[in-house]
Amino acid sequence: MVMNTEVKELGHFINGKIVAGTSGHFSDVFNPSTGAVIAHVPLATKEEVQSAIMTAQAAFPAWRALSVGKRVEIVMKFRQLMTERIDELIAIICTESGKTVEDAKGEITRGLESVDLAINAPHLLKGEHSVNVGGNINAYSTKVPLGIVAAISPFNFPVMVPLAMTCMAVAVGNCVILKPSERVPCSALFFSELWKEAGLPDGVWTVINGDKDAVNELLENPAIKAISFVGSTPVAEHIYKTGSSYGKRVTALGGGKNNMIVMPDADLEQVANAFLGAAYGAASQRCMAISTIMPVGEDTANNLVKVLADKISKLKVGPYTDPAVDFGPVITKQSKDAIIGYIDRSLDEGATLVCDGRNPNIAEISKGFYLGPTLLDNVKPGMEIYEQEVFGPVRNVVRVDSLEEAIELINAHELGNGVTIFTNNGAAARKFTSEIDVGMVGVNVPIPIPVGYHNFAGWKRSRFGEGHMFGPEHVRFFTKTKTISEKWFEENSESVSTFAFPSNND
């Protein structure tokens, strides 16, 4: 795979075509592996967003009226095109996010699960029907689309998360406006072209590139009926509160501080291998990454840290063009500097440095945003590195004396995205899954992210709103229920007025 050195001028995708931005303001898009600018992305004005919304409004009536079977045919064609052009999409992901080829493939595969779920829209949209609920009246319900919905997606999954946010929304009859992260806009523009080729009518799918001005217009504009967001907890809370105050349906997924509990009976070799990928994959830029490993008992901790130190020292960091690397750079130089700051401050607070990734060898020969894997031992609750989500390859060891202590610590944390336990003891696993206050739970599964047909969302301050990113609840999020009661009179039948509240006594 060859890195493209051309600097592209990007646009928005509105009314079925790429259009140039008119604001005059742009943001640089970097290749994190080299530090080079690869594109300039326009930042939309409020007026540009309003114009895009009007285009979507014009397209909505016809799209809503189209049969769900016809809509799903387009979704299936979109899926086919994605699989046919997967190599192009992999190259885009790797270039703008720094992910390895295998990680990009994995992201696309998980994204396709959301497409597959959307293909089941005819089944998932079925309502309920009751015959003769009273007085020869039949009652039934239908699920109908909301109208114009918006998705605001993060940089760390430029394909999987936008697909998870939007495919069902399209299939059930909404028009969608996607505002991707300005750090990774190329992937969204690429599969915009696939939607066009698949036959999606103009205006049903829109990509607006921008910053807070574009986001604020989506949050405030009354034509937008629902907002789906993934990002940091502070921003998620702002999105939820603001969008809700304007009467919108909002699901805002925030950060995670995910823990792996290791019981004394666990196989430490298996644990260590599972931890490496779950903790450091994608340079730890995953909301479901394992941040903290909690060995139960001093012997377990000492032995596990020794095994981890050996394995972590052998991990290779580098560009996606090298098939031997385990993970690549973080997304920006600012992210790299912030992560180093977290490490420095944790040492001042008393953490012990087991593996130091602040100066990987690759950094000496590249301008890319590289950090090696860092492991900190003797981390305590209250330390910044324990309390805050760190979106980079620095992971913590928190030693606990018992499973009860581990559960208590995890339940006390403000974030509740994902958690897992490694054990061969069924009673311990049952106690853990029953008592833990976290939205997604694994048993001997390092990253407990559900498949696309199960609901994805954390608890506590990892999620604001009651919606989910995919799964059955996603259908309900993007539709509203209409309940109809109907009665047909026979010819020449008699009728009388009644002033009693309707009941089923007839």
* 362 and 274 in a common domain: yes
Closest listed residue to residue 177, CA positions, set 216, 204, 202: 204
Helix (H, G, I), strand (E, B) or coil at 183: coil
Q: Measured between alpha carbons, how far is residue 47 from residues 121, 189, 221 in Å? A: 34, 20, 11
Q: Is residue 43 part of a domain?
A: yes
Q: Are residues 233 and 278 in the same domain?
A: no
Task: Render pLDDT for 270-304 as a digit per residue (tens, 0 to 9).
Answer: 999 999 999 999 999 998 899 999 999 999 999 99
Per-residue pLDDT, 2: 43
On whether both 426 and 473 belong to a single domain, the answer is no
- Mean residue pLDDT of the chain comes to 93
Per-residue pLDDT, averaged over 426-448, amounts to: 93
472 and 429 part of one domain: no
Residues 154-171: pLDDT tens digits? 999 999 999 999 999 999
Residues 301 and 182 in one domain: no
Active-site residue (options: 94, 175, 186, 287): 287
At 469 the pLDDT is 78
DSSP 3-state of 288: coil
Same domain, 273 and 212: no
Q: Starting at the earlier edge strand, list the strands of the sheet with 374-377.
A: 352-355, 374-377, 394-397, 290-295, 258-262, 418-422, 440-443
* In a shared domain, residues 222 and 332: no
Cross-strand pairs, 252: 229, 464
pLDDT of 1: 43
- Tell me, yes or no, whether 59 and 178 share the same domain: yes
Average pLDDT rounded to a whole number, residues 458-465: 88
9-13, 129-133, 380-384: the lowest-pLDDT one: 129-133
Q: Which H/E stretch holds residue 427?
A: helix 426-435
Domain extent, residue 241, equals: 8-254+462-483
DSSP-based three-state secondary structure for 260: strand
CATH of the domain at 284: 3.40.309.10
Q: Is the same domain home to 249 and 278?
A: no
pLDDT grade for 448, boundaries at 50, 70 and 90:
confident
Q: What pLDDT, on the 0 to 100 scale, is given for residue 504?
A: 62
The domain that contains 146 carries what CATH number?
3.40.605.10
Those residues with Cβ within 8 angstroms of residue 491's Cβ, 6 or more apart along the chain or in another chain: none
Q: Are residues 154 and 234 in the same domain?
A: yes
Are 405 and 344 within one domain?
Answer: yes
171 alpha-carbon distance from chain centroid = 19
Query: Pairing state of beta strands 290-295 and 394-397?
Result: parallel
Is 287 catalytic? The answer is yes
**Domain-embedded: residue 1:** no
Q: Based on the domain organization, do 38 and 179 belong to the same domain?
A: yes
Domain total of the chain: 2
Domain annotation covers residue 190 = yes
192-201: pLDDT as tens digits = 999 999 999 9
Residue appearing with tokens 């600018």? 37
405 versus 495: the higher-pLDDT residue is 405
The contacts of residue 24 (CB under 8 Å, 6+ apart) are none
pLDDT-wise least confident of 105-114, 133-142, 147-156, 477-486: 133-142
